[in-house]
A and B are shown apart, each in its own frame.
Chain A
């Protein structure tokens, strides 16, 4: 496969309060072996050489685990491939001559900082509201094997725990709901005996914070599950709903 010519249309926005717009960037000589972000690196390198402002985008690990990268590519969170993040997307997915639209996450609780970078601090605040087991660090702990955990529960908790907090679920959801993210954490901890005692409190507190941050309601469209790079299952939303329901009923 030879190198490609592409026509990129990229969202440019100088700051949080500025008005943004899509701008055209034709790029040549894109190798199919490049990752999507490496393709942007090359574009940025050229912009700097021309003394133009390079495109701001978030990224760090570049191996699909930190959750920092966050591009909306051709109308899909993390682009056309399933089960991977933006940084794992490779250019061999595209064809010579393609036009590619690149936008930031668009959701009211994730304001744009610059160009393609957004502020996802709301996720941290939800976590701080209850996404933990209330345990201090000390040397006086029970042995890790004191409480056996059925393998099935441990595996399910692990599946939920693989959420990378990227926000693709929110960006994809027509309502801008953060249910999949919240459900992943609530589900992980409520499946484990260590997290069980505070399960109700946790579900209430995290959902309350989620609402406060301005995330929308979940109407079960299921779009989030499809775009989630870690394929977090909707099952967890069902579990969160159960926890939440029980918690509200028993609270009265």
Chain B
């Protein structure tokens, strides 16, 4: 568009943003499969899937531009999966009944990101974009009420830099790492968004967190992150735990194996509770059900926090089908297993390999063990229809904003939203904003506002380095993560949240007194990077708990134990809580000011989600 752009990322190359890890796919209402899909249907599914806590207008626009995204990516050279006719292939994904998901094997995010990266590098080559990798944004500078630049730290030299701009776009991803363990990359952080919040941008629905049901369980205290196993596994895998407590205990003690448990003694709890959707219920429902069984003592690994994802039945079923196709009469059990294993391997081979590599156990022979893990944050900076925050000139895109997914995100729709924001929304809205600024000359970074922001950052770094504390940063991060997971995770209640707030304050206080950060400010210093991020998580965590405490209902990923139906399902309170909670920073993490944006539904009728 002819703007001069400076782009920043903390990795050593823009090609490594965490979008690269997205596996399953991206939705678009193309209706190539002619199975009744439409813009309206995608819109409707997204609003319903979000448990009626998203803005209708935004979601409708998202559904409208979804088809353009696919065309754009194809034009960039993204190698989507194709069928033998050479046309784009689709699959059904994430609890919807149409095939609208486009994919590139299990690496859709990688291919979409590399497409965007190549377009970016083209602009870098032309000199239109200046790329600052290994740079971390540490503050937004606001001048006369408008965002006018940022302060960033050069992570190689440690230099603190000022960059002036007429508008600032924050596209910094999600904050799932507030839980310490999540499926996010190690560097994912809330710092840029949080600093924007402290400079006046409201934070929307911080408590809405998505916990993904199929991740590899924690193996020990050394665990640094969790790995997602694609949701597509639930299409063929059956989830179960032993029906008898003594069997579960024997398994945990290593005295029995999953295969020792007779069919009649297995509890396929999703099929039992949700006969219509079975193992394919949405993520929030599947995750809570796993937690419920494990809390009741039926977990199947040493820590008691794992359930089985079993392909035994699928292997048998596929094996028999194959035998039929190959006209093998009366196939032996071994033959059926052999044929079925080949089919399962063809479909999910790379995932099975990944599992075996991490866990060291062959998932064709032994049922996989899985457990829910933090995956995505629906909350984020509050933005208007133009993706502008409450600070003029400060925009927010992608997972970092709160828009579109309400209280729960459906599979394959984060990539859709991020690319919609970046390719088809912001080019129009930012131009609109800049039109009024056309006569503003270059931004002078010597202004006192830049001076003050830089001084504040340098002071904070100085404090961290000269603190002479005794404990490494990760100690505090782990403690925070445990509080968040136990009390603001899959299930929450008022008492737990109040305790969590007190505990987080305590950890924060200890952090500033006792954290030890080695090394110097003017060098490549990964401990210092971590410390800055954890300091911000320690404030965000408190706001998440406050938001969860304020929302006296259950909706989507936010499950308050006090508000459930007699069958244990989430109970919304539309009369009192059909609003976006937009929190304003007032100088102290515990004293945020709540603003409510009412949600009105003109198109979609609010109903209780049911997957029975």
Contact = CB atoms under 8 A, between A and B. Distances in A.
Interface of A: 14-15, 31-35, 37-39, 41-42, 45, 47-49, 51-54, 56, 58-68, 84, 88, 90, 92, 113-114, 117, 119-121, 123-124, 127-135, 137, 139, 141-145, 148-151, 154-155, 157-158, 161-162, 164-165, 188-189, 192, 194-195
Contacts of B360: 32-33, 90, 92
Contacts of A41: 222, 224, 474
Nearest to B471: A49
A139 B424 contact: yes
B611 interface: no
6 contacts: A41-B224, A63-B354, A68-B16, A124-B14, A124-B133, A141-B71
Contacts of A148: 82, 85-87
A135 B472 contact: no
Given A48-B527, A84-B357, A120-B13, A133 B110 contact: no
A38 B88 contact: no
The 10 closest A-B pairs by CB, nearest first: A148-B86, A128-B125, A132-B118, A141-B71, A158-B79, A144-B74, A128-B121, A66-B16, A132-B122, A157-B79
B345 interface: no
Given A128-B122, A145-B88, A37 B224 contact: yes
A84 B353 CA distance: 11
B74 A62 contact: no
Nearest to A83: B353
Contact of A51 (B107, B427, B518, B526): B518
A120 to B, nearest CB: 6
Given A34-B222, A149-B82, A158-B111, A144 B88 contact: yes
B493 interface: no
Contacts of B11: 60, 66, 68
Given A33-B220, A124-B133, A149-B82, A68 B12 contact: yes
Given A66-B18, A132-B121, A161-B79, 15 more contacts: A48-B472, A53-B518, A60-B187, A120-B12, A120-B13, A128-B124, A129-B125, A133-B75, A135-B76, A139-B424, A144-B73, A148-B86, A149-B86, A161-B111, A188-B79
Interface in B209-245: 219-220, 222-225, 227
Interface in B223-280: 223-225, 227
A201 to B, nearest CB: 12
Interface in B37-60: none
Nearest to B71: A141
Interface string B404-417: 00000000000000
B131 interface: yes
Contact of B77 (A67, A130, A195): A195
A31 B131 CA distance: 40
Contacts of A59: 186
A64 B353 CA distance: 13
A124 B114 CA distance: 12
Nearest to A133: B77
B77 A194 contact: yes
Given A60-B186, A66-B11, A148-B87, A154 B79 contact: yes
Contacts of A62: 185-186, 224-225, 227
Given A60-B185, A120-B13, A31 B220 contact: yes
A51 B516 contact: yes
Contacts of B87: 145, 148
A171 to B, nearest CB: 15
Interface of B: 11-16, 18, 20-21, 30, 32, 65, 68, 70-77, 79-88, 104-105, 107, 110-111, 114, 117-119, 121-122, 124-125, 131, 133, 156, 185-187, 219-220, 222-225, 227, 354, 357-358, 360, 423-424, 427, 470, 472, 474, 516, 518-519, 523-524, 526-527
A154 B76 contact: no
A250 B524 CA distance: 47
Given A135-B75, A165-B13, A63 B133 contact: no
A65 B86 contact: no
B424 to A, nearest CB: 6
B227 A63 contact: yes
Majority SS of interface residues in chain A? loop
A159 to B, nearest CB: 9
Contact of A90 (B357, B423, B518, B524): B357
Nearest to B223: A38
A158 B85 contact: no
Contact of A33 (B12, B79, B219): B219
Nearest to A60: B185
A88 B185 CA distance: 14
A133 B118 contact: yes
A3 B76 CA distance: 49
Nearest to B516: A48
Nearest to A138: B72
Nearest to A194: B77
Contacts of B524: 15, 56, 113-114, 117
A47 B82 CA distance: 51
Contacts of A158: 79, 81, 104-105, 111
Contacts of B219: 31, 33
A60 B16 contact: yes
A113 B524 CA distance: 8
Contact of B118 (A121, A127, A192): A127
A34 B424 contact: no
A127 B75 contact: no
Nearest to A70: B12
A67 B17 CA distance: 10
Contacts of B73: 144
Nearest to B15: A165
B121 A124 contact: yes
A101 to B, nearest CB: 22
Contacts of B72: 137, 141
Contacts of B77: 132-133, 157, 188-189, 192, 194-195
Contacts of B358: 35, 88, 90
Contacts of B225: 62-63
Contacts of B20: 61, 65-66
Contacts of A130: 125
B122 A63 contact: no
B136 to A, nearest CB: 13
Contacts of A131: 118, 121
Given A37-B224, A158-B104, A151 B472 contact: no
B15 A54 contact: no
A115 B68 CA distance: 45
B118 A61 contact: no
A79 B373 CA distance: 29
A124 B519 contact: no
Given A31-B222, A62-B185, A127 B88 contact: no
B474 A45 contact: yes
Contacts of B125: 128-130
A65 B109 CA distance: 10
Nearest to A84: B357
A32 to B, nearest CB: 7
A35 B223 CA distance: 9
Nearest to B472: A48
Contacts of A14: 523
A124 B121 CA distance: 7
Contacts of A144: 30, 70-71, 73-74, 80, 88
A66 B124 CA distance: 21
Contact of B523 (A15, A65, A92, A132): A15
Nearest to B517: A48
A36 B156 CA distance: 24
B428 to A, nearest CB: 10
